Amino acid sequence: MKHQSVRFKEFGSPADVLTYETEPEEKLTSSDLKPNEVRVNIQFSPINPADLNYIQGNYGIRPDLPAIPGVESSGIVTESASDKIAVGDLVIFITRVGTWQSQVTCAADDLVVIPAIPPEQAAMLKVNPLTALCLLENYIELKPGDFIIQNAANSGVGQCVIQIAKQLGIKTINLVRRAELIPELLELGADHVLLDNTFVVEQVREICGENSPKLACNAVGGDSALRLMDAIAEQGQHITFGAMSMRSLKVPNKFLIFKRIQLHGLWVTKWLEANDHPTIQTAYHRLAEWVAKGQLNQAIDTIYKPEQITQAITHATTDKRQGKILLDFS
């Protein structure tokens, strides 16, 4: 067997700087591991926007070069020097170890053992589902029947918000840019799907009446973020976790003074750094249980082998996809 990896030696366009490499796989056993280390055979790794930014050098973290990308993945433990993780466990990575490779050796604390779910879904559990759960539970107490509103509702996080909110009894108002996206989000469980335009705030008021959304999830910025501020209730929480429009927030004073809304930012990496391992494991076990019951699912468009990395990256950067692009290291 050969060890496979996808690497980059300089920052730049992913299609230009990524290379597929192979080398002989080291013949190692558990005795070669340091205390509390484990060895994991990678199964699947998704291509996320954060991975692309990381390769371009535009992410919040810049690695030493050469580097292996990959912020999330699923894998099976093949060797363990930890009393917390056993050979055969299905694991996901909660710290950045570079998962676009066929095998990783890391500390047990870099991993969370999860219940048996499809490995393709496990590979996508770290980022989008956890972001959605944090949005819904970390900023304001929401009760069954309460409304929340989000833009970019067709995004990976947006679709997770819809599905998790459904399990919690929370109603969702979902903004999208294209009318053809409306039916698929309604089928996913969205309560309302509206076009993100100048008329949407009035539509939200007609839907909600006195029960205005208490929470706004902003992945876009710019004018779309302002519409969310206008639509939420007094003392509502407005959480920014993405900036798809690449436009900054310019907040009218009236929203801060008279509506007393609160603005927050969420980067799930910092949430993981701030919480202890039992808290993180509890969150991922909840998410995995929803996946196991068919209540939380992330769509997959195409699965590529790592040697097809140029084709996979090109596909991942197109708008016309019906889900995630995965790399198959299994």
Query: d(Cα 12, Cα 265) in Å, to the nearest integer?
Result: 27
Write down the catalytic residue from 20, 54, 59, 284. 59
Residue 215 in tokens:
């929470």
Query: d(Cα 5, Cα 184) in Å, to the nearest integer?
Result: 36
Question: Which residue is it, tokens 């991942």?
Answer: 316
The distance between the two most distant Cα atoms of the chain, rounded to a whole number of Å, is: 66
Hey, what's the torsion of the CAs at 103, 104, 108, 112, to 10 degrees?
Answer: -70
Name the 3-class secondary structure at 15: helix
What is the Rg, in whole angstroms, of the alpha carbon atoms belonging to the chain? 21
- Cis before residue 49, ω within 30 degrees of 0? no
Residue 269 in tokens:
């990496």
* Phi, psi at 78, each rounded to 5°: -110, -25
User: Among 264, 304, 313, 292, which residue's Cα sits nearest to residue 125?
Assistant: 292
User: Among 230, 221, 238, 244, which residue's Cα sits nearest to residue 154?
Assistant: 244
Residue 221: DSSP 8-state: B
Q: Is 20 noted as a catalytic residue in this protein?
A: no
| Cβ atoms of residues 200 and 224 within 8 Å | no
**Which residues are the active-site residues?**
59
